[in-house]
Structure 1
Amino acid sequence: MSVKIAVLPRPSVQRRIFDQSHWEQLETIGTVVRNMSEDPLQPETVQSVIQGADIAITSWGCIPLTRDILDFAPHLKAVLHAAGTVKGVVTPDLWDKGILVSSGNGPLGVGVAETALGLTIASLKHMWRLTDSTRNGGWGAERQQVRELYRITVGVVGAGKAGSHYIRLLRNFEVEILIYDPILTVEQAEAMGAKKADLETVLAASDVVSIHAPSLPETYRMINRERLALMKDDAILINTARGALIDEAALVDELRKGRLLACLDVTDPEPPAPDHPLRSLPNCILTPHIAGAVNNGIKRIGQFAIDEAKRLLAGEKLEGEVKGEQMNVLA
């Protein structure tokens, strides 16, 4: 019996996550039914597309899959979310019906981790400051400030998909890795090649701190004034997670002292006001939320959804599976 795959996002989102090669792969798996309406999704549209489906692919702009929608797909086996957080689409009805859920946080985390590593190397090398100096006629007068990713301590806050991949990348270098994650065990940290520590120790001991924690009520402003004060002089703070994790007013005060270098891909809110000090402080590198999948990188999550469909039909475990009991600790 042919497998029916319902692709629920609007066509503009489909074009972002899938190219022609992806559609060809999906068509070898089963019958593909696509939402062809560019209008904001309504339950009636989803019901029409998902009717009789075995697999549903969701992404940005999709609505919660409630019982009145799921009743149209009584044989639905899995919802494959070709985006990050699944909180916008999952409902208790999915868990009640035993439908598997997969998130694209893994492939998104790859791009985030790679960006964090790039910021780590560029910041240790003082590329930002040396570029400005060179542009203004200088040539290496500040080279003595350059450091390598060698025999230093890197602190990682959060061992989710992005944080874990960042650690894997760091294992190519001779560095000590400290990690703070309250749900990670000492043994799990050691298996990753890191040492588990409390947040205060990570901040105080690290030359570079990279934030990869989810944005939850418990993590709001976790990097506050007192904790920023613990950081070493000349330490580097990288945030590719969410702006709400940092007390930005406190960070501005620390940056004005010239103690730290901050690399921020995220702020709270986004974008920051045109006159926000983070835009003008020379020791703040500000990028417009580009650490995750952008342009061609977004296709990675489309491929991941296809690969998850293949794993499902082969009876294998989904790599991005999310369970109901995890929802309170996931972004």
Structure 2
Amino acid sequence: MIRPTIALAMQPSRTQHVLTPLLLEKLGGIGHLLDVAPMERFDDERSVQLLAEAEILVTGWGAQPIDARVLCRAPHLKLIVHAAGTVKGLVDDSVFDAGIAVSHAAQANAMPVAEFTLAAILFAGKKVFRFRDLYVADRNRARTVPIQAEAIGNYRRIVGIVGASRIGRRVIELLRPFDYRVIVYDPIMDDSEAQRLGVEKVNLDALMTTADIVSIHAPSLPATRHMIDVRRLSLMKAGATLINTARGAIVDEPALIDVLKSGRIDAVIDVTDPEIPDAASPFYDLPNVFLTPHIAGAVGLERTRLGEMAVDEVCRFIKGKPLLYQVHRQDLQHMA
């Protein structure tokens, strides 16, 4: 039996731990791995040779876009598996026009984001960051003990999920063991799906008004740009927390900064627009902001999940089984 040829395309500096030696060995066992060194571009001599032979292409962060010009160099290509999240910006219509199957590991990337979000929700409800700052500043408990009598904590709090996306649904699953009321805004989700998930479907204004903690999991699309604007931020309860692990562009950041400066709400922010805020941004200094550098997704050893899922998809394809995470052309319009 002739084994299908497999090539890799990603930036090694950005994809450590994705394809471990064990996973590379597994790829080499089910197919003919043309080169363990991934392509970082598609126009050098080595890449031209690899593309000419490749039937399966495993991509990752840093891979160059695959368009009609690249496909001209890859006449035998049948499958692209992205060992990362979204394939937006990686593939275009020419890939689907050519009948090439596309899959991705977004489900694997959703898991650490959801775990990060769960931790953020628990810490936000307990006002952990406020307690930490006061305790460190005072070196005593004069100010922290009285706060414990305030209406804080996680018992029977209301969590609002903006977007029943892959990540949003995983967050909902993780919240089930806790004593939360979960409300969800998603224009695509119907009432029966909300009932199946065990959540209450509401409109966005109602969610912003009702939730003690608002967690954003919507895709970044023209329709969602600045969806969380000055008016909707004004609807949030005093003392509520906004969590954003989705995309910075979904929030009107100048409006968010203004409301944060007032001290009326708190924020846990893992994503911003631009990706790295200006050095003078108040996000760095506001005491009611917990800012992280886009780490909710797969980092370090968590990246191996991406490689495992990608290799499993390659195995399924070679064995003639349906792909579990296939991406279709129409899916792109709803992707982050």
The two structures have a TM-score, normalised by structure 1, of: 0.93
Structure 1 residue 138 corresponds to structure 2 residue 140: yes
How many residues of Structure 1 are paired with residues of Structure 2 in the alignment? 331
For residues 37 and 5 of structure 1, the distance between their equivalents in structure 2, rounded to whole angstroms, comes to 11
4+ residue runs of structure 1 moved beyond 6 angstroms? Answer: none
In structure 1, what is the equivalent of residue 217 of structure 2? Answer: 212
Q: Select 1:285's aligned residue among 285, 290, 296.
A: 290
State the distance in 2 between where 1:268 and 1:283 align. 19
2:246 corresponds in structure 1 to 241
**SS of residue matched to 1:251:** helix
Instruction: Give the aligned residue type for 2:315.
Output: K
Q: Following the alignment from structure 2 to structure 1, what is the Cα–Cα distance between the partners of residues 313 and 112?
A: 19
What does residue 314 of structure 1 align with? 319
Corresponding residue to 1:166 among 162, 171, 196: 171
1:35 to partner: Cα distance: 6.6
Amino acid at match of 2:177: N
What is residue 10 of structure 2 aligned with on the other side?
Answer: 9
- Determine helix, strand or coil for the equivalent of 2:256: helix
- Partner of 2:34, secondary structure, is strand
Q: In the aligned structure 2, how far is the partner of 1:44 from the partner of 1:178? A: 54
Match of 1:81 in 2: 82
C-alpha deviations, 1:186-210, integer Å up to 9, x for none? 2222222222221111111111110
Structure 1: which 5+ residue stretches go unaligned?
A: none
Please, which of 263, 268, 271 is the counterpart of residue 276 of structure 2?
A: 271
Matches within 5 A, 1:215-230: 215-230=220-235
* Structure 1 residues 44 and 312, CA gap change in structure 2 (3 angstroms): same
Q: Percent identity?
A: 39
Distance of aligned partners of 1:75 and 1:69 in 2 relative to their CA distance in 1, 3 Å threshold:
same
8 Å CA contact 1:55–1:76 kept in 2: the answer is: yes
Indicate conservation of the 8 Å contact 1:22/1:306, yes or no. Answer: yes
Partner of residue 127, structure 1: 128
Superposed CA offset, 1:248-270 (max 9, x none): 11112212222111110111113
The equivalent position to 2:305 in structure 1, one of 300, 307, 315, is: 300
How large is the RMSD of aligned CA atoms in angstroms?
Answer: 2.1
SS at structure 1 position matched to 2:296: coil
What is the deviation of 1:317?
Answer: 3.0
Task: For 1:47-126, list aligned pairs within 5 A.
Answer: 47-126=48-127
Q: Distance in 2 between matches of 1:129 and 1:33?
A: 54
Match of 1:184 in 2: 189
1:8/1:35 contact within 8 Å kept = no
How far off its partner does 1:154 sit? 0.8
**Bigger Cα displacement from structure 2, 210-219 vs 1-10:** 1-10
- C-alpha offsets along residues 214-238 of structure 1, whole Å, 9 cap, x if unaligned? 1111111110000011111111110
Change (3 A) 1:37 1:253: closer
Amino acid at match of 2:88: K
